[in-house]
Amino acid sequence: MKTIIYSSGILGGLLLIIGLIGWIAPVPFAEVWLLTGVLLLALVCVPLIMVDRYRYAKRIDRIIKSYKDTPAKIERLSAEKSKFTGWGMNNSPFRERKSGLTWGGGNVKGANASRGNRRRFLK
């Protein structure tokens, strides 16, 4: 349905533009292009958009209704030590460590913050 909506909208818009250009410049069958574009937009594209929005709203309502009947599950973090050991996302030995922000100056609007070049002037 989305394909029909998009294709009819694009085609109707193009035909409408050709028909409007036909009023300024002599384009053959300009009135036909204009009428076809308006009819395609008004009779195909807009009603299908409205039907698609209606179906989408109904689907969202069904999803909300299905979750209203289920009880809320409350999960809490435990204070006990984790049973997982080893490297994690934050303590991997292969990750490059960049600590803190450094502020460089020299521009008119203020300093730019950057990471990883804390002691660049010593190198």
For 73-123, the pLDDT digits (tens) are 777 766 676 666 666 666 666 666 555 555 555 555 555 555 555 454 455
For 106-118, the pLDDT digits (tens) are 555 555 555 555 4
Predicted confidence at residue 76, as pLDDT, reads 74
Residue in the structure block whose two tokens are 């395609």: 40
pTM of the shown model: 0.54
For 11-20, the pLDDT digits (tens) are 999 999 999 9
Give me 41's structure tokens: 């937009």
For 39-58, the pLDDT digits (tens) are 999 999 999 999 999 999 99
Contacts of 36 (CB under 8 A, 6+ apart): 12, 15, 19
Q: Confirm if 35 and 67 have CB atoms less than 8 A apart.
A: no
- The DSSP bridge partners found for residue 1 are none
Q: Confirm if 60 and 68 have CB atoms less than 8 A apart.
A: no
